[in-house]
Structure formats: C-alpha cells, structure tokens
Amino acid sequence: MYKTIYTEVEVDVNLSDFDTDDLIEELESRVGGNGEFGDGKDILQAIYEKRRVGKDYQTELEQLIWLGLGKVI
C-alpha cells in the first residue's frame, strides 16, 4: 500500500549550480516557451480575449508583469 504525502521544504540553492541553458529554458517555460516576448501586445490580446469570455487569465497576467517589471510573482 502506498500513500502520497505532500510537504514543504526550504532549500538554499546557488544559481551558479545550474547551467545557463537550463535557466533560460525554465524562464521560457514560464512566459510562453518561445523566447520571443515582443512588446507584450500578444499577451495583452490573450488577456483581453480570455477576460471577454470569462476565462482565467492569471498566467498571462503574470507573464505581462514579468515582461514589464522583470519580476516573477
């Protein structure tokens, strides 16, 4: 018999332990995956379309914040 248990762990990590390509790949996966972020108009359009039909647009909003401020929530 197996049980799945979820827990939270705090770990100190040095970013120099990661390969630059791995870091780039992770960032791209968080903001759409294609590496071309443009000026944000495509993200704004996606937010507009989803908001207009009542769909969740939090992911796109976070992408726009990252694009504009360079900060991840």
Spell out the domain ranges in the chain. Answer: 36-73
Render 4-72 in DSSP notation, one character per residue.
Answer: -----------GGGS-HHHHHHHHHHHTTSSS--TTSHHHHHHHHHHHHTT---HHHHHHHHHHHHS--
Whether the predicted pLDDT of 71 surpasses 80 = no
14-62 tens-digit pLDDT:
888 888 888 878 777 766 555 455 667 888 888 999 999 999 999 888 8
Q: Is 32 left (phi over 0), alpha (psi -120 to 50) or beta?
A: left
- pTM as predicted: 0.46
